[in-house]
Structure 1
Amino acid sequence: MPGSRLSDEDRQRIAAGLAEGLGYAEIGRRLRRPASTVMREVTRNGGPDDYRAAQAHNATRERARRHKPARPAPPIPDSGYGRDPEQVRQITESFTELLVQQGVPRMEARVLACLHITDSGALTAAELVERLRVSPASISHAVGFLERQGMLRRELVPGGRRERYIIDDEVWLRALQANLQMNKALAATSQRAAEILGAATPAGARFESSAELLLLTSEALGQAMEQWRQTLAARNATG
């Protein structure tokens, strides 16, 4: 089941898929798991050539046995809104796991989720350390990654020398803009490959088809982003 831990049967099916020469995406589809989950499982247990289901299962049990239970995170302040702390905790964990499944490193996903769940959308490094119960170095590394991705920004706390990290309504807009630029670059390269290989050849036709899909999705994504910008502008004008 998606979201649950891999079972011994899951690992046997992964091993069988690798023996068939299947890619991570196809194995994940058969297991109803993200390809990233399959990739992590195989990578930390010998790689595609040396993966063994029984050894992977035993190694996972040994890691779980050695793992020390994490200290419970302090409750997230509800800013006087009367929220159920347990429900807030559960949605925070669910949002974090979704980010991880989308390829965001776990610590960076935890930081991003923590900022999202905070009403102010802004926390200092010290506050993130306290809430996530991790080292300042971990927060610094995660913040640097997220800032490079355009998913947060930093500013000085008014009247002080400390920095705080902020997300806003355009955090996902910036992430989509990066995806749009990548799609356009892939489309252009695919078109060039089709020309070089020959559109009438199987390889050239594959590149040409990819370029058509990428251009189509880029156009739709660009229109959706522009519509969202107009929505935000109207909202801010009336706010």
Structure 2
Amino acid sequence: MSAQEVTEAERPRDEEAVARFVERFALLMTEGGMPRMAARVFALIMASEQGAHTAAEIAKRLEISPAAVSGAVRFLTETRLVIRDREPGQRRDVFRVGDEFWYDTLSRKNRAMDDLLAAANEGAAALGPDTPAGRRMAVTGDFLSYLREQLPNLITRWQAERAPR
């Protein structure tokens, strides 16, 4: 193989481009409601080849304090976006994303949606069907009910499409 025939896997990563991606992805996650440091740490772990980093590696790569890392990984582990793990024989924790974390996250959100749906239906009844607030809550309940019904179908279709890959 000549020097010009380097495969994608052998090509060195453009670390500046990766850093820009991490910050852009983190910004989008922050705009979606995730705390800023947690979003940066999550994006960094997602962008890593191993899908994992130690706290020290995170602090160094993002140029943040150990306390900031601690708070971010606490949020990410509590929300189960990352898993705290330990390599055999090592004394340091490793924070990693699971291969199916989007699926796991959506499955949890689907259960949380049940609570929101019940609250929206309760709110619609309490506010009255003939009031603007009651109608808004009824539409919210209808939308959440639709999402609740469709999410398992979407997950099943995704798994079926993904299987041949």
Q: How does 1:184-203 map to 2 (within 5 A)?
A: 184-203=114-133
* Mapped partners of 1:230, 1:152: distance in 2: 25
Compute the displacement of 1:142 (Å). 0.7
Structure 1 Cα separation of the partners of residues 104 and 59 of structure 2 = 26
Counterpart-to-counterpart distance in 1, 2:135 and 2:59: 52
Q: Find the partner of 2:11 among 81, 98, 104.
A: 81
**Structure 2 residue matching 1:104: 3-state secondary structure:** coil
Matched, 1:144 2:63: no
Instruction: Give the structure 1 partner of residue 55 of structure 2.
Output: 125
CA distance in 2, matches of 1:201, 1:97: 38
Q: Provide the rounded CA distance (Å) in 2 between the counterparts of 1:172 and 1:189.
A: 25
Go from structure 1 to structure 2 and tell me whether the alpha carbon gap of 1:214 and 1:157 turns closer, same or farther (over 3 Å shift).
same
**How far is the alpha carbon of 1:90 from its aligned partner?**
2.0
Aligned to 1:219: 149
Q: For the structure 1 residues 154 and 229, does the alpha-carbon distance in structure 2 shift closer, same or farther, using more than 3 Å as the test?
A: farther
Shift of 1:123: 0.9
Alignment of 1:171-210 (within 5 A): 171-210=101-140
Write the distance in 1 (CA, Å) between the matches of 2:119 and 2:62.
Answer: 42
One-letter code aligned to 2:145? L
Q: TM-score, normalised by structure 2?
A: 0.82
Say if 2:147 is the partner of 1:228: no
Identity level (%) = 35
Which aligned pairs between 1:32-181 and structure 2 lie closer than 5 A?
80-181=10-111
Residue range with higher mean Cα deviation, 116-125 or 79-88? 79-88
> C-alpha displacement at 1:231, in angstroms?
5.1
**How far apart are the structure 1 equivalents of 2:80 and 2:43?**
15
SS of the equivalent of 1:83 reads coil
Cα distance in 1 for partners of 2:41, 2:58 equals: 7
Structure with the bigger RCO (C-alpha within 8 Å, sep 6+) is: 2
Task: Report how far residue 183 of structure 1 moved.
Answer: 2.2
- Relative to structure 1, the CA distance from residue 134 to residue 197 in structure 2 (aligned partners, 3 Å threshold; closer, same or farther) is closer
List gaps (5 residues or longer) in structure 1: 1-78
Report the CA distance shift for 1:214/1:158 in structure 2 as closer, same or farther (over 3 A): same
* One-letter amino acid of the structure 1 residue matched with residue 32 of structure 2: Q
Indicate the structure (1 or 2) with the bigger Cα radius of gyration: 1
Stretches of structure 2 that go unaligned for 5 or more consecutive residues are: 1-8
Q: Which runs of 4+ in 1 moved over 6 A?
A: none
The structural deviation recorded for 1:201 is 4.5
1:200 deviates by 4.2
Letter in 2 for 1:132: L
Q: 2 CA distance for matches of 1:202 and 1:110?
A: 40
1:53-90 Cα deviation digits (max 9, x unpaired): xxxxxxxxxxxxxxxxxxxxxxxxxx853232332222
Please give the alpha-carbon distance, in whole angstroms, between the structure 2 residues aligned to 1:106 and 1:194: 34
The corresponding residue for 1:23 is none
